[in-house]
Amino acid sequence: MHVSSDGGTSSRAPLPPAEQPQAPEPLPPAEPPQAPDLSHPLLDDNTRRAELDERAGFHFVGLSEKNKDKVLLAQVQIERAIEKALLSDGYSRDELSQKSKRDEIRGFLFYRNGKLLSMKTYDSYVKEVQFGTHRSRPYKVLIDAISSSNLFLTKVKKIKRWER
């Protein structure tokens, strides 16, 4: 019962459930920042191959179509693995998406001293990246270029390395 200000009593019925004050619904927990999606390469293989073919230019002069195809296939496999490793190490996806930056990286990977690498070298690079890109010679070439300020790539996240 409730005593009114005039001294009388009145009975107040409880509010129906629809009119009772509701506590705000709890917000769903915030999702942690997502790691870069490594399953989706920056380029499909056909686009990557076309860019590599264009970048090679005069380097392919005198090469048979068969050998040109072998070189391009190897370059696609190596570049895809290197890209995935760079992304997993926290390098900027936006920066790696720029064609000019990809062409700069290709210079370090595939045209050392301004010359096309030998097919033997491409074959060994493909095997190396298949067994672990981070320990491969082409990846080490890029990391050395970054460390010596010959190649500038932005790291957007820090990676903890336990293997060193």
Query: In angstroms, rounded to a whole number, what is the distance separating the alpha carbons of residues 130 and 119?
Result: 17
Residue 21: pLDDT over 80: no
The maximal CA–CA distance of the chain, rounded, in angstroms, is: 110
Mean per-residue pLDDT, 35-50: 76
Residue 34 lies in a domain: no
In this structure, are residues 2 and 10 in contact, taking their beta carbons and an 8 Å threshold? yes
Residue 161 lies in a domain: no
Query: In angstroms, rounded to a whole number, what is the distance separating the alpha carbons of residues 105 and 142?
Result: 7
Residue 32: pLDDT over 50: no
- What's the pLDDT at 40? 72
The secondary structure of residue 65, as a DSSP letter, is: H
Residue 156 lies in a domain: no
Residue 27 lies in a domain: no
Averaged pLDDT of the chain: 82
User: Which residues neighbour 82 within 8 Å (Cβ) at sequence distance 6 or greater?
Assistant: 105, 109, 129, 133, 138, 139, 142
Q: Range of 114's domain?
A: 45-147
Residue 57 lies in a domain: yes
Report the domain count for the chain.
Answer: 1
Burial of 78 (0-12, 13-18, 19+ CB in 10 A): buried
In this structure, are residues 116 and 71 in contact, taking their beta carbons and an 8 Å threshold? yes
Query: In angstroms, rounded to a whole number, what is the distance separating the alpha carbons of residues 46 and 76?
Result: 9
Mean per-residue pLDDT, 125-141: 96
In this structure, are residues 63 and 57 in contact, taking their beta carbons and an 8 Å threshold? no
- What's the pLDDT at 59? 87
- What's the pLDDT at 15? 59
* 13 or 36, greater pLDDT: 13
Mean per-residue pLDDT, 22-36: 52
Q: Is the pTM of this model over 0.75?
A: no
Residue 31: pLDDT over 70: no
List, for residues 50-90, the tens digit of each pLDDT value: 999 998 888 888 899 999 999 999 999 999 999 999 999 99
